[in-house]
A and B are shown apart, each in its own frame.
Chain A
Amino acid sequence: MNEKAPKLLEKATILFAGDSGDGIQLTGFQFSQNTALEGQDLSTYPDFPAEIRAPIGTVSGVSGFRINFGSQRIFTPGALVDALVAFNAAALTKNIDQLRNGGILIVDESGFSKRNLTLAHIPEDQNPLDDEALVNSYKLLRFDITQMTKEALVDVPGSPKDKTRSKNFFALGLIYWMYSRSLQQGEKLIAEKFKAGSVAFDANIKALRAGYHLGETIEETAVRFRMDAAHLAPGRYRSVMGNQAVALALIAASQKANLPLFYGSYPITPASDILHELSKQKHFGVKTFQAEDEIAAITSAIGAAYGGALAVTGSSGPGIALKGEGIGLAVILELPLVVINVQRGGPSTGLPTKTEQADLNQALYGRNGEAPLPVLAPASPTDCFDITYAAAKIAVEHMTPVMVLSDGFLANGSQPWKFPAASDLPLISPPVASEHTEDYQPYRRDENLVRKWGIPGTAGIEHRIGGLEKQDITGNISYDAENHQKMVNFRQQKIANIPVPDLAIEWGDPEGDVLVLGWGSTFGAIREAVINLRNDGVKVSQAHLRYIYPLPANFEELISGFTHILVPEMNMGQLLGYLRREISKPLTPLHKVKGVPFASLEIEEAIRQLLK
């Protein structure tokens, strides 16, 4: 029995890091699942190497998985980590800066061989594990995890090299022990991933147990923690990543609208997972089309939309740039189309695996001519579902392309998700024209200025549409000056008419000194900052724009109760510039364009500066 009672924690952050071949992501997933089953709230984020197969043992080959979890609500994958598990010297070098002072550092001594040190560019005589500063700054737990795993697996068939593959589960066992998790639950999760009775299954179970038992034998020296369940709203939960949530929302919308789903896409980081996810769900009638380029991806989707499908195209900034003309075509045709932009660092190829919010101007203004379209942005991985669903509903019901601005941080981040029942999802009613509609005119509009969707195959309403300016009502080609102005106004007003939910105070009071107004993936960091400062008595609140264009009707009113409005963005002030065109109230920018998300501390600092 453990004499020392485990220390109660409210939240903790762990970073698993090792070579990309070390099974870091799997370890992270298993720990996340286990955490969710404990009822704690969590947020995770993977840190993949940018290179596909960077040389083993090098810093560029390090793969990381971060999890922030707690008995309180968790909004971000965390800033500094409380525990770092490093499987080799490169993983340590790359991530040690992220470990807080006094944090726990677990290392596999086998990963600090002469060769490993060289690969991590550490001089041979300076093994960090012998560095006094390091030993003094952190609680260092060094074991030869690789060797101990091999010993634990003597009875399992396979070469010694095969056996070392289970070292991640050995480490996971130790972490389970350290955070007072049940070993049985851990074994169950292995059973979900590996076929019972297979060599891999046996090896990983044995390694997990050995790691757990190691914990028990070192309990005199090591600390142990426990954590209560979080007070999450009751209901059924699952874990979901942003890109996955986008894919689920598209399928859900297609089912609810009773329209076949067509997804035209070209491989691009970090959007490709949407394509992968959708292509797994063909039994929902999903048609995924890996096009020859970004232009074909969108224009094939426009063809599908013309044919009566829920048509979607997804990409990242560089691909969206190529789709610009196609988006304009969808605008003038007035066909429904969902365009997903999973933003990454730019310009040009930029930073493909890093996150940024610098494509807002592109979304709002990146087309020739007057080509307005709704722009929506999810605030969290789970919100990717709600916003994408809403985008599909708007596209179909208002016959317009709609842009969804996700980003790399949301795409790969994961959270527990209280998923909806299919029956609770809002209805989607496509304005489809019926056969032999009397005097059908393709560009006749209803009270919301929405035209009817005349789908090929429908008898009695045959008509032609195209990218040339069209005459009001008939859709025939028209070069008439007055008509052009009229059509431009219609297309503008049609978008302005789309009802969007009111903006709400997400956290805090409706009046105060500072309102932090964000959009997209900055949500979590802002929330943490606002909570922290309110605990210190600062009169600060949070509002978050999910509907950027058109703006919620109550926008001006809602922000009027605050002295300062702080607008943090991972760009040079694009939302700020857009809002300045719309409203006169002074806004304070907060920029960060480093390819990494805001830390809540940076936002807290900016708020304090404002109040100085």
Chain B
Amino acid sequence: MLKAVDYSSDQDVRWCPGCGDYSILKQVQSVLAEFEAKRESTVFISGIGCSSRFPYYLNTYGMHGIHGRATAIASGLRAVRRDLDIWVITGDGDGLSIGLGHLLHALRRNFRLKILLFNNEIYGLTKGQYSPTTPEGHRTKSSPMGVIDHPFNPLALALGADATFVARTMDRDPLHLRDVLKAAHAHEGSAFIEVYQNCNVFNDGAFFAFTDKKTKANNTVYLEAGKPMVFGENNDKVLVKEHCGIAVDTLENAQHPLVHNPGDLHQAMLLSRMFDLPETEMEQPRPFGVLYQTHRPCYEDLMQQQIQQAVEKNGAPDLDALLAGDTSWEVH
């Protein structure tokens, strides 16, 4: 049986010391061991960016592609190889800026891929420009007077593309990270996982509101299927339905605490919109966990089905018949 270390390649890991990527790599290796993943049938595909170095550090198959195209490369691979366990590693620049189109199309097609989007709200590898998830007003190398782009809400985007599995987790909560990875691995379809990842060099503390001991409890709500959405320092707050939205109430007062149902698209959409800027005191907590999960046939399976149907209809392939076409004639 393989242990987590057996999934490590012989390459030196080159992320900055303290980078959140280390934790994610470690948890991925550990769940691979837990699944008893076969190294030969596990593939990691990435684009370009700090996170995209990921495949080099795993002793499985892997491809470090070009900027933004990991989901498209993985889609093609999955289309021809339904036997492989394919993971996509991307980031907020790679997956939401230059490669957003491919990401959304992979999600709507529902290729069976586990797509890990490491969100650090910054461009790390190119040394500190703002990304599509950097909050407005944020000062970076390319926005000395503050970002004027409105940021993307990755989970809302994924839901908008009809993703069949949408989750959020963070580098600093290894246990939760592993649970989400396991749920994603079991999902038959595209699994989109946003991982909050701290870039301690260019955007240190972007998610401290959700990870710091002092603020975490009030700013995060961990979603668990079938359980009320309780949170807070003393576990005394809960999410409730209010008009068309979601509000915070005390557990004591709440008549109808919201119970998490990952199959409820409407509720998932409301949860995804709980996207207040992370201040120390946020009005609404940010949800973590599997927001949404549903089932829809995978593109590659439908593709294979059509091939089978065509064989049933037209018989086994006959190259000579194909070359001869419908009408041919003899020249003597």
Binding site for B on A (CB under 8 A): 33, 36-37, 39, 192, 229, 232-240, 248, 251-252, 255, 260, 262, 264, 281-287, 289, 291-293, 295-296, 299-304, 306-309, 311, 325-326, 328-329, 333, 418-422, 456-468, 476-477
Verify B80–A283 contact, CB threshold 8 A.
no
Please name all residues of chain A whose beta carbon is closer than 8 Å to the beta carbon of B187 when the two chains form the complex.
Answer: none
Contact with A along B311-332 (1 / 0, CB 8 A): 1011111011011111111111
Among B64-72, B204-212, B236-244, B250-258, the stretch in contact with A? B64-72
Contact with A along B73-107 (1 / 0, CB 8 A): 11111111101100000000000000001100100
Please name all residues of chain B whose beta carbon is closer than 8 Å to the beta carbon of A459 when the two chains form the complex.
Answer: 38-40
**Most chain A C-beta atoms within 10 Å of own C-beta, residue among B64, B323, B324:** B323
The reply on B60 being an interface residue by CB < 8 A is yes
Minimum CB–CB distance for A462 against chain B, Å: 5
Closest chain A residue, CB of each to CB of B41? A457
Please name all residues of chain B whose beta carbon is closer than 8 Å to the beta carbon of A296 when the two chains form the complex.
Answer: 69, 72, 75, 101-102, 105
The reply on B63 being an interface residue by CB < 8 A is yes
Please name all residues of chain A whose beta carbon is closer than 8 Å to the beta carbon of B324 when the two chains form the complex.
Answer: 236, 238, 419
Interface residues of B in 287-332 (CB under 8 A from A): 303, 306-307, 309-311, 313-317, 319-320, 322-332
Verify A302–B331 contact, CB threshold 8 A.
no
How far, in whole Å, are A233 and B332 apart by their CA atoms in the complex?
8
Please name all residues of chain B whose beta carbon is closer than 8 Å to the beta carbon of A467 when the two chains form the complex.
Answer: 48, 64-66
Verify B322–A284 contact, CB threshold 8 A.
yes
Verify A307–B80 contact, CB threshold 8 A.
yes
Among B79, B81, B323, which residue has its beta carbon within 8 angstroms of that of A422?
Answer: B323
Contact with A along B252-296 (1 / 0, CB 8 A): 000000000000000000000000000000000000000000000
Please tell me the number of chain B residues within 8 Å of chain A, measured between CB atoms. Answer: 60
How far, in whole Å, are A37 and B306 apart by their CA atoms in the complex?
36
Verify A248–B307 contact, CB threshold 8 A.
no
Among A238, A301, A307, A311, which residue has its beta carbon within 8 angstroms of that of B325?
Answer: A238
Verify A301–B311 contact, CB threshold 8 A.
no
The reply on B189 being an interface residue by CB < 8 A is no
Please name all residues of chain A whose beta carbon is closer than 8 Å to the beta carbon of B83 when the two chains form the complex.
Answer: 457
Among A39, A285, A326, A468, which residue has its beta carbon within 8 angstroms of that of B69?
Answer: A326
How far, in whole Å, are A465 and B11 apart by their CA atoms in the complex?
13
Verify B319–A252 contact, CB threshold 8 A.
yes
Please name all residues of chain B whose beta carbon is closer than 8 Å to the beta carbon of A237 when the two chains form the complex.
Answer: 328-331
Among A37, A281, A303, A465, which residue has its beta carbon within 8 angstroms of that of B76?
Answer: A303
Verify A462–B77 contact, CB threshold 8 A.
no
How far, in whole Å, are A309 and B81 apart by their CA atoms in the complex?
9
The reply on B154 being an interface residue by CB < 8 A is no
Closest chain A residue, CB of each to CB of B54? A464
Verify A419–B63 contact, CB threshold 8 A.
no
How far, in whole Å, are A283 and B318 apart by their CA atoms in the complex?
9
Minimum CB–CB distance for A439 against chain B, Å: 14
Please name all residues of chain A whose beta carbon is closer than 8 Å to the beta carbon of B322 when the two chains form the complex.
Answer: 248, 251-252, 281, 284
Minimum CB–CB distance for B297 against chain A, Å: 16
Verify A287–B307 contact, CB threshold 8 A.
yes
Verify B66–A262 contact, CB threshold 8 A.
no
The reply on B184 being an interface residue by CB < 8 A is no
The reply on B45 being an interface residue by CB < 8 A is yes
Please name all residues of chain B whose beta carbon is closer than 8 Å to the beta carbon of A251 when the two chains form the complex.
Answer: 319, 322
Verify B329–A37 contact, CB threshold 8 A.
yes
How far, in whole Å, are A326 and B9 apart by their CA atoms in the complex?
26
The reply on B62 being an interface residue by CB < 8 A is yes
Given A287-B80, A287-B303: 4 more A-B contacts, CB < 8 Å: A234-B330, A238-B325, A296-B72, A307-B81
Please name all residues of chain B whose beta carbon is closer than 8 Å to the beta carbon of A308 when the two chains form the complex.
Answer: 80-81
Verify B329–A36 contact, CB threshold 8 A.
yes
Among A300, A419, A464, which residue has its beta carbon within 8 angstroms of that of B323?
Answer: A419
Majority SS at the chain A contact face = mixed
Verify A303–B73 contact, CB threshold 8 A.
yes
Minimum CB–CB distance for B309 against chain A, Å: 8
How far, in whole Å, are A252 and B322 apart by their CA atoms in the complex?
9
Please name all residues of chain B whose beta carbon is closer than 8 Å to the beta carbon of A462 when the two chains form the complex.
Answer: 39-40, 59-61
Q: Known contacts A283-B315, A459-B40; is A293 also within 8 Å of B101 by CB?
A: yes
Among B9, B81, B329, B330, which residue has its beta carbon within 8 angstroms of that of A456?
Answer: B81
Q: Known contacts A236-B328, A291-B72, A462-B39; is A329 also within 8 Å of B81 by CB?
A: no
Among B39, B64, B75, B80, which residue has its beta carbon within 8 angstroms of that of A468?
Answer: B64
Verify B72–A262 contact, CB threshold 8 A.
no
Verify B63–A262 contact, CB threshold 8 A.
no
Among A292, A303, A304, A422, which residue has its beta carbon within 8 angstroms of that of B105?
Answer: A292
How far, in whole Å, are A240 and B144 apart by their CA atoms in the complex?
62
How far, in whole Å, are A260 and B76 apart by their CA atoms in the complex?
12
Q: Known contacts A235-B331, A236-B324, A464-B56; is A456 also within 8 Å of B43 by CB?
A: yes
Minimum CB–CB distance for A414 against chain B, Å: 12
Q: Known contacts A299-B66, A303-B75; is A283 also within 8 Å of B317 by CB?
A: yes
Minimum CB–CB distance for A19 against chain B, Å: 27
Please name all residues of chain A whose beta carbon is closer than 8 Å to the beta carbon of B307 when the two chains form the complex.
Answer: 282-283, 285-287
Q: Known contacts A33-B327, A456-B61, A467-B65; is A285 also within 8 Å of B317 by CB?
A: yes
The reply on B55 being an interface residue by CB < 8 A is yes
Among A234, A281, A302, A306, which residue has its beta carbon within 8 angstroms of that of B332?
Answer: A234
How far, in whole Å, are A603 and B105 apart by their CA atoms in the complex?
49
Please name all residues of chain A whose beta carbon is closer than 8 Å to the beta carbon of B309 when the two chains form the complex.
Answer: 282
Verify B319–A255 contact, CB threshold 8 A.
yes
How far, in whole Å, are A325 and B47 apart by their CA atoms in the complex?
13
Verify B69–A464 contact, CB threshold 8 A.
no
Please name all residues of chain B whose beta carbon is closer than 8 Å to the beta carbon of A307 when the two chains form the complex.
Answer: 76-77, 80-81, 84
How far, in whole Å, are A291 and B102 apart by their CA atoms in the complex?
9
Verify A299–B76 contact, CB threshold 8 A.
yes
Please name all residues of chain B whose beta carbon is closer than 8 Å to the beta carbon of A286 when the two chains form the complex.
Answer: 307
Give 16 pairs: A residue, B residue, CB < 8 Å, sorted on A: A39-B329, A236-B324, A237-B330, A237-B331, A281-B310, A283-B315, A284-B317, A295-B69, A299-B73, A299-B102, A303-B75, A422-B323, A456-B43, A466-B63, A467-B64, A467-B65
Verify B63–A464 contact, CB threshold 8 A.
yes
Please name all residues of chain B whose beta carbon is closer than 8 Å to the beta carbon of A234 when the two chains form the complex.
Answer: 330-332
Minimum CB–CB distance for A612 against chain B, Å: 42
How far, in whole Å, are A297 and B81 apart by their CA atoms in the complex?
17
Please name all residues of chain B whose beta carbon is closer than 8 Å to the beta carbon of A306 when the two chains form the complex.
Answer: 63, 73, 77
Verify B101–A325 contact, CB threshold 8 A.
no
Among B63, B80, B332, which residue has its beta carbon within 8 angstroms of that of A260?
Answer: B80
Verify A289–B76 contact, CB threshold 8 A.
yes
Please name all residues of chain B whose beta carbon is closer than 8 Å to the beta carbon of A460 when the two chains form the complex.
Answer: 40
Q: Known contacts A456-B41, A459-B40, A477-B56; is A299 also within 8 Å of B64 by CB?
A: no
How far, in whole Å, are A284 and B307 apart by their CA atoms in the complex?
8
Minimum CB–CB distance for A586 against chain B, Å: 42
Minimum CB–CB distance for A355 against chain B, Å: 24
Verify B55–A303 contact, CB threshold 8 A.
no
The 10 closest A-B pairs by CB, nearest first: A466-B64, A303-B76, A300-B76, A303-B77, A282-B310, A303-B73, A283-B310, A296-B72, A422-B319, A456-B61
Verify B11–A476 contact, CB threshold 8 A.
yes
Q: Known contacts A282-B307, A287-B307; is A304 also within 8 Å of B101 by CB?
A: no
Please name all residues of chain A whose beta carbon is closer than 8 Å to the beta carbon of B325 when the two chains form the complex.
Answer: 238-240, 419
How far, in whole Å, are A283 and B332 apart by their CA atoms in the complex?
33
Q: Known contacts A232-B331, A303-B72; is A289 also within 8 Å of B61 by CB?
A: no
**Most chain A C-beta atoms within 10 Å of own C-beta, residue among B11, B72, B327, B328:** B72
Please name all residues of chain A whose beta carbon is closer than 8 Å to the beta carbon of B63 when the two chains form the complex.
Answer: 303, 306, 333, 464-466
Q: Known contacts A252-B319, A296-B101, A464-B9; is A239 also within 8 Å of B327 by CB?
A: yes
